[in-house]
Amino acid sequence: MATVLVTGIVGGEIFALLRMPKVTGWIATGIVLRWLALPGMNTEVDPKCLDRFLPYMHFVLGFIAFTVGATLYFASLRNTGKRIGLLLLGETLVTPVLVGALLYFAGPLLPGGDSMTTQAALLLAAIAIAGAPGTTVLVIQEARARGILTRTLLAAIGLIDMVAVAVFVFITTFLGAQAGWSDALQSVVVQFGITLAIGGGCALIAIALTRIIVSPAFLGPTIVAAVLGSWGFAAGFGTSGGILACTFAGIVLTNFQHDLVRSGEAYLQTIGGALFALFYTFAGMRLDFGLVPSAAALVGLYFFARLAGKCISAFSAMSLAGVTANVRGYLGIALLPHGGVAVGLILLVSGEDSGFSEEVRTIVNTVGLSALAINQLLGPSATRFALSRADEDHKDRPRLLDFLQEHRITVGLSGSDREGTIRQLASQLYATSKMQIPQEEFVARVLARDAELSTYLGQGLMIPHAILDDGEGDEIRGVLGLSAEGLKFDTFDDRRVHAVLLLATPEMERSRHLQVLSAFATAITRDANLVEQLYHARSAAHAYEVLHADKHADINYFLEDAADQAGLRP
């Protein structure tokens, strides 16, 4: 493990110097180590030598699945449900249908494709849905990306793997036992029910322990125990049970006690580099490029069919959801990485106890693993390319309007009076933020402030707000409501109100509060282009991109850049 870790680190650094993702370097290093066949790692002498490291691989894979599940914090997904739902529908229908049809009809016409069967085409179609949550998250972190594309990726990648497992279980049940549609669907429901019970149970036990017995110093280790327990208890319950259980554990934990997830992530953050470098170098060692020449044409067909399926399903889903061109055009490319779940599904098919013929097992193993090797090398770079082209890389830095994330923006705001509108936005604020002051008391303060001195600033902009006392909050929070038609309020310039920004500002954040007011007021009065785009935003995602675009840096600048310009930093 020391040898693999050191060589993996070196390989990752070399690829980083070439401006490529480190994860690609780790995987490539693993492929080279397999080729070198060092003592103790010679797969020709001992085909199962890498299996000794499976417990470690399972732990990291479980932690990745847990982390992905933890991103599904329902309160923060307020405006993402439609596009995520459409994307999952596209991944369920478009990708497997396209891959399966091309393999079945075009596969036998290619060199080496004579052995392609209906069963092999269906199994490979299901496997094609799976993504690579760990790789994707790692690339996003390395790129320091933030934006609508990044947010969609983080919310979708874990669910896409769940879809892959569900379709795979359905197909294997239908083919393996010649069961009917109802029996196959029942098998899917049973497996998901068991893993939900296991993962959710482990998460609830962890929450109970932290509330009753465990001290704050051991919050991180308790989360690690929840991951280990989820994988371990699910190990005997079917296809990729450990991955599903850990994902469910993350979902349950983040929605029942969101702050506890941060403790677990922080606990492993200090050794995260070592964990992932070792994991992906081992993953590279399990890829055998010697399989590629024997089925090169089929591998190429499968690779491009999968890429086309991802791009078509993503583009169609995002078009129906009404998101901007950046997300529509590059989400499919960002979904190219293929990883852990796919490996698990391939191994299940290729096992002698799978119930499939040797012909089917051979072609799924050969085509699946060969295409996986190519995807593992090209996938991280594809995701990094998509993030860069969507202009979301290097955006994970503190900005003035960081509190205005997509789920805190509403379009189509309505209301006939100020109080009703303020109450409507306050409800959204409390649904998406953890507030320490009762909602009615907060609304009363906002209304009192607005009655004392109107918070309408002119040009259709209104910023009602309240200052919180010590202990009532530690950071500025807010929601933005937009109305293209405009609200008929009593205003000094007789204009309709098109934007209402409701702010809750702690006493310690007064200076930033004034910066927000000044930035909005200045931009609204002198930037007609921003006003037109913002007031008539088609969706919350569109409004978010308007506010966070580099061309509108006057209203939402990076705080560290502002500090540098002001001479506040060395």
Whole-number percent of the chain with pLDDT over 90: 24
Q: Name residue 342's amino acid.
A: A
Name the CATH topology of 2-389. Answer: Na+/H+ antiporter like fold (1.20.1530)
Give me the sign of the Cα torsion angle 71, 73, 75, 77. Answer: positive
What was the pLDDT predicted at 215?
Answer: 83
Check whether domain 406-565 has CATH 3.40.50.720, yes or no: no
Residue 61 CA to residue 55 CA, distance in Å, equals 10
Query: pLDDT: is 205 or 271 the higher one?
Result: 205
Say yes or no to pLDDT of 565 above 60: no
How far, in Å, CA of 265 to CA of 226, rounded? 13
Average pLDDT over residues 430-435: 86
- Residue 485 φ then ψ, to 5°: -75, -30
CA distances from 267 to 138, 224, 262, 434 (A): 17, 9, 8, 23
What per-residue confidence (pLDDT) applies to 242?
80
Which residues, including other chains, have CB under 8 Å from residue 537's CB and lie 6 or more apart? 411, 482, 543, 546
pLDDT digits (tens, 9 = 90+) for 159-211: 898 888 888 878 877 776 555 667 777 877 888 888 999 999 999 999 999 88
How many angstroms separate the CA atoms of 120 and 171, rounded?
11
Please report how the helices 358-389 and 296-321 are oriented relative to each other, as an axis angle in degrees rounded to 10: 50
When pLDDT is averaged across residues 26-32 and rounded to a whole number, the result is 87
Greatest mean pLDDT range, 48-62, 220-234, 329-343: 220-234
Residues of the chain with CATH 3.40.930.10: 406-565
Question: Residues 446, 448, 453, 455: what is their CA dihedral angle, to the nearest 10 degrees?
Answer: 20
pLDDT tens digit sequence for 490-508: 888 888 999 999 999 888 8
- In this prediction, residues 273-290 reach a mean pLDDT of 80
Least Cα distance to 19 among 384, 377, 316, 436 occurs for 384
Q: Are 160 and 91 in contact, with CB atoms under 8 Å apart?
A: yes
Summarised one tens digit per residue, pLDDT across range 362-409 is: 888 788 877 877 887 888 899 999 999 988 888 777 777 778 888 889
What pTM value is reported for the model? 0.74
Residue 350 above 90 pLDDT? no
C-beta of residue 165 within 8 angstroms of C-beta of residue 240: yes
pLDDT at 566: 45
Query: Taking phi first (over 0 means left), then psi (-120 to 50 degrees means alpha), and beta for anything else, what does residue 459 get?
Result: left
Q: Please write the tens of the pLDDT for every residue from 115-144.
A: 788 888 999 999 999 888 878 888 898 888
| Delimiting residues of CATH 1.20.1530.20 domain(s) in the chain | 2-389
Dist CA 272 CA 260 (whole Å): 18
pLDDT of residue 240 exceeding 70, the answer is no
Task: Examine the pLDDT at 481 and tell me if it is beyond 50.
Answer: yes
502 contacts: CB under 8 Å, gap ≥ 6: 422, 425, 426, 429, 446, 463, 464, 465, 478, 479, 480, 481
Number of C-beta neighbours around residue 472 at 10 A: 17
Q: Which residues contact 12 (CB under 8 A, 6 or more apart)?
A: 22, 23, 25, 26, 29, 277
Predicted local distance difference test score (pLDDT) of residue 6: 94
Distance CA 30, CA 5 (A): 10
State the pLDDT at residue 567: 45
Least confident of 106-110, 457-461, 469-473: 469-473
Least confident of 109-118, 285-294, 471-480: 285-294
SS3 content of the chain, % helix, strand, coil (to 5): 70, 5, 25
Residue 39 scores a pLDDT above 70: yes
Q: DSSP character for 556?
A: S
In degrees, to the nearest 5, what angle opens at C-alpha 122 toward C-alphas 120 and 127?
95
